[in-house]
Amino acid sequence: MKKYDACYMDLRENKTLYLTFDEGYENGYTGQILDVLKKYEVPAAFFITGSYFDREQELIKRMLDEGHIVGNHTEHHPNLHKLENPEKMQEELKILDDKYESVFGERMKYMRPPEGEYSPRVLAAAQAAGYKTVFWSFAYKDWQRDVNMGAKHAYDSVTPYLHSGAIILLHAVSKDNAEALGDIILYAREQGYEFKSLDDLQW
């Protein structure tokens, strides 16, 4: 991880948390999530795919306007580890980043490999392309958009597992996450945690 500029948590022993969301497609909840983040002044990072960029530029603009990070989740969401060579891996990142820069005037700094699948080749290719690779130290099964178990289920799936330096992966397609997010934030703060931006994370 360290060799190739990748991380899964902040290894400093302090009570910081990092909220990240993967955005493969929109399911109508990102606006609600952004409302909660704005209300509680919590920064987050949103990792988008090429199809999300093509369809949801207004939401992406809002993310940026409200101080969040937009990261690269590849153009086509392939399993990078299974691609033939580093050039193919980098192409998946570059296609999206070029489109993003053409609209928003900046390059992406962070990438997250689809499915969390990686190898030294994947990490090396991302580093050579100028990215820091961001994994996570906590996630749960929340990406099935037609499976809703209620806000309490999301709250109970997240809050017992908070820990210092945690990078939390949530999927913004989840109604449960959107409805539980405010209570999760309040609980974390009651336990003495502070939410930080990935830009504050030390590798």
> What are residue 195's phi and psi, to 5 degrees?
-85, 130
169 strand-pairing partners: 20
Interatomic CA distance for residues 59 and 49, integer angstroms: 13
Active-site entry in 10, 77, 171, 176? 171
Question: Burial level of 12, CB count in 10 A (0-12/13-18/19+)?
Answer: exposed
Per DSSP, 138 falls in state B
Asked if residues 165 and 14 have their Cβ atoms less than 8 Å apart, the reply is: yes
The answer to whether residue 22 is catalytic is: yes
Active-site entry in 22, 97, 142, 176? 22
Q: Which residues are marked as active site?
A: 22, 171
